[in-house]
Structure 1
Amino acid sequence: MTTPFPTSHVPPAPRRAKAGARITLTLASLAMLGPFTIDTVFPAFTRIGAEFGGDEVALQQLVSAYLAAFAVMSIFHGPLSDALGRKKVMIGGLVIYLIGMFGCVLAPSMGTLILLRVLQGMSAGAATIVSRVVIRDMFSGSEAQRLMAQVMMIFSVAPAVAPIFGGWLLLLGDWRWVFAGVGVYALLVLVLTVRLPETLPPEARTPLRVRSLLGSLAHVGRSPVMLRVAAASAFGFASQFLFIAGASIVVVRLLGLGERDFWVLFIPLIIGMLSGAWVVGRVADLMDRSRLITFGFVGTVVTTVVNLVLVSFAPEFTGGLSWGLLLAVIGPMLIAFTVALLFAPIQLEVLDLFPHERGAAASLGTFFGLVLNALLAGLIAPLVTTGLVALGLTSLIFALLGGGFWVWHLRVVRRPVAA
């Protein structure tokens, strides 16, 4: 499946048997940077639009511009970490991210704000993507899956906490307080990252040459196995992320709630993600990774169907807590649970496809999902949030696509080789 590298480029064996609390917290904090960057800003959309005269579509670009830049640069963060080391790339990315975040506090126009979001997107992946590689560098087998699940459990808190945190920051003043608050969080993450060990020693690194970096990406990117697994992961996660990408429209317009009511949607999502990640950690020694991913995809198709049925029969919303509102958030919670079952193990599946080029594999494995997420935030979510039924149907389509790519992958890898 992969072409062996010279002995000097073979990655070292994992050096730890168990993950301590500090390492787990640091890696989870790095992973949470992305959700905090996206979701904390949602409650501030109304005030940003009022100050700069931006409509719903323009405001959604604050998310899609970040995600698009994140996607483009995600291709390079992993290979750079294969050449320079994991720690240097993560720290450099966080420093640039902080410049962009505090620049948002001083932004004089919507255009400037969007450009600064692009800078954040270009740099944030250095921390979030490479931190996944660090997990696989340090651990293997069930412990790697268990740590990935633990990181995801903590990471799962971010989508629920972030908009609530953003709403609280708005009590201090205008929308600029939201960006300042996230900047302080990123500064704390930088301090934690500085204390992390370097997990890729110099003798295991690839040459820092443009041709070498592009060659590594080309080698990984032209693998049919990689393309199938990455597509399965991207579409599977999209069935849940659709609700996050369109949260500003779903909560305010479809559910008739206010700018500090995002918890109504995000707390059920966090319960689902947290529960699913907990199950993944518990079954790490009991269930084959491939079987767990299959179980997650089957469950996601089922829960998206359940969600579609629930919202089809939900009563009209009156703008407050009601029976109809309960039915509208149960489905996303169930979808988040089943997506969590497949998310952590499929990340390890991607990394193990190319053990000598884990950085490049992490980058390209993430790239497909990020491109789809950017399209969800900037184009698809505004189009399908005409109603909860349209939103639910779109989620079901993504679940079917993800499951289809995974079944295709299983059939190919299990096909007997002709004598």
Structure 2
Amino acid sequence: MTPEAQKLWRAPQWAFSILLALLGMLGPFSIDTYLPAFAGISQSLGATPVQMQQTLSAYLFGFAFMALFHGSISDSFGRRPVVLWGLAAFTIASVGCALSQTIGQLIFFRAMQGLCTGAGIVISRAVIRDVYPPSQAQKVMSQVTIFFGVAPAIAPMVGGWLLIHASWHGIFWFLAAVGVALWTSNYFLLPETLPPAQRQHFHVKNLLAGYWKLGSDPRFLLLALASGIPFNGMFLYVLSAPVFLGEHLGLQPQQFFWFFVLTIGGIMGGAFVSGRVAGKISPKRQIRNGFSIMLTIGVLNLLANLLFKAHVSWALFPIAIFAFGWALMVPVVTLLVLDLHPDRRGMASSLQMFVGSTANGIVAGVVSPLVMHSTIGLASASVLMMCVGLCSWVFIRSRWPEIGRRVEEL
């Protein structure tokens, strides 16, 4: 925790939480905003379905690649410059998307968007731990989690509204306007939370030593898997929403919002409970509760799909409950990741995000197309991805039982 951190922000805490949460939601929000416009973009630019999928994959893998470096750079030059440069580059890339005349141009600028947007979520997590002690950091992290989880759910609704009332170009002009608004607000409001005395020297040898230190730590890798992979048990359904909701459940596009409302409700509920119990129960107990909820509802969802034909009367609720369990545990796991190596919190946030976003890219480009046409396949894949995170956490608890026992006031 940065010395005299509480003096850096004198306005109400909720305002700082909102500022950081908006930074954190930019990445996932930008992933899905244009999904409703796939058909319109394809027709306008003469693109094939494979090429349209490449616009999504280019963003996700650009996001994953640059996530490796945002935090590391901020460990050397400070949090604030990385945020401002990232937002500026995102705005320019969004304008490029809006002006694209060919599918190749759109793929290029979507990749540029992905390279920039990771700065928001990576740096916001590091800033939270710079400023707050663990129990308070968990409360703020829970608030950020609400926005991070809600963003991919509301983004298609916003994109669909813009598509109807403007065009697919209007979606990217809107994202450019969001970038301008965020850059302006952070320029005037975001304090620098990493003092020069705590910064790392920026040279290749030092960076490689840091990556090796974190990458060779099995605790770090397992915690990153425990926090990053289970999200895809829910995100898979978001990516597959047109097929899952339209083909399997027979909903009309204007009825899709029920799925997003329930999922958002689950995320908000889990994050709210996570913040409320911060400092009252041990981190390991809260993580166990989150995984127990996800495992139970995931198995029940799979059994229901094996025994019955999926129906809208019940098929949406397991996803919402799964989202609740994920949002309950992920703020705690994230803080455990950041506190393993306090001198490398920016880099730790980067590597954690890299693991999660790489998984997101694989799910979007490989898993979702393979399983979306079967409700049993969707439910099975959801459970399997949750089990990767669960097994990682179980191994951590058996090998390093002290992790998560209590929150140390660092």
Task: Please classify the TM superposition score into its range, dividing by the shorter chain length.
Answer: over 0.9
Q: Check if 1:403 corresponds to 2:390.
A: yes
Residue correspondence of structure 1 range 236-315 to structure 2 within 5 A: 236-315=230-309
Q: Equivalents in 2 of 1:157, 1:102: separation in Å?
A: 25
RMSD of Structure 2 on Structure 1 (CA): 1.9
Structure 1 stretch 11-20 or stretch 358-367: which is displaced more? 11-20
Structure 1 stretch 274-283 or stretch 202-211: which is displaced more? 202-211
Alignment match, 1:343: 330
TM-score (norm 1): 0.90
Deviations 1:19-58 (A, max 9, x none): 6122111101001101220121111112112223334443
Q: Check if 1:352 corresponds to 2:339.
A: yes
Q: Check if 1:179 corresponds to 2:172.
A: yes
Q: Equivalents in 2 of 1:248, 1:399: separation in Å?
A: 23
Q: Check if 1:377 corresponds to 2:364.
A: yes
Q: Check if 1:21 corresponds to 2:14.
A: yes
Alignment match, 1:12: 2
8 Å Cα contact 1:65-1:114 kept in structure 2 = yes
Q: CA deviation at 1:256?
A: 4.0
Unaligned runs of 5+ in 2: 403-410
One-letter amino acid matched to 1:82: D
Residue correspondence of structure 1 range 12-411 to structure 2 within 5 A: 12-13=2-3, 15-16=5-6, 20-194=13-187, 195-315=189-309, 324-411=311-398
TM-score (norm 2): 0.92
Q: CA deviation at 1:315?
A: 4.4
8 Å Cα contact 1:15-1:138 kept in structure 2 = yes
Change beyond 3 A, Cα 1:389–1:338: same
8 Å Cα contact 1:30-1:189 kept in structure 2 = yes
One-letter amino acid matched to 2:230: G
One-letter amino acid matched to 1:406: W
Q: CA deviation at 1:155?
A: 3.7
Kindly tell me the number of residue pairs found equivalent between the two proteins. 398
Q: CA deviation at 1:251?
A: 3.4
Unaligned runs of 5+ in 1: 1-10, 317-323
Change beyond 3 A, Cα 1:236–1:258: same
One-letter amino acid matched to 2:240: G
Change beyond 3 A, Cα 1:326–1:55: farther
Q: CA deviation at 1:330?
A: 1.0
One-letter amino acid matched to 1:174: S
8 Å Cα contact 1:314-1:328 kept in structure 2 = no
8 Å Cα contact 1:314-1:327 kept in structure 2 = no
Structure 1 stretch 254-263 or stretch 374-383: which is displaced more? 254-263
More helix, by proportion: 2
Q: CA deviation at 1:156?
A: 3.7
Deviations 1:313-336 (A, max 9, x none): 5546xxxxxxx2132211111110
Alignment match, 1:414: 401
Q: CA deviation at 1:260?
A: 4.7
Q: CA deviation at 1:161?
A: 2.4
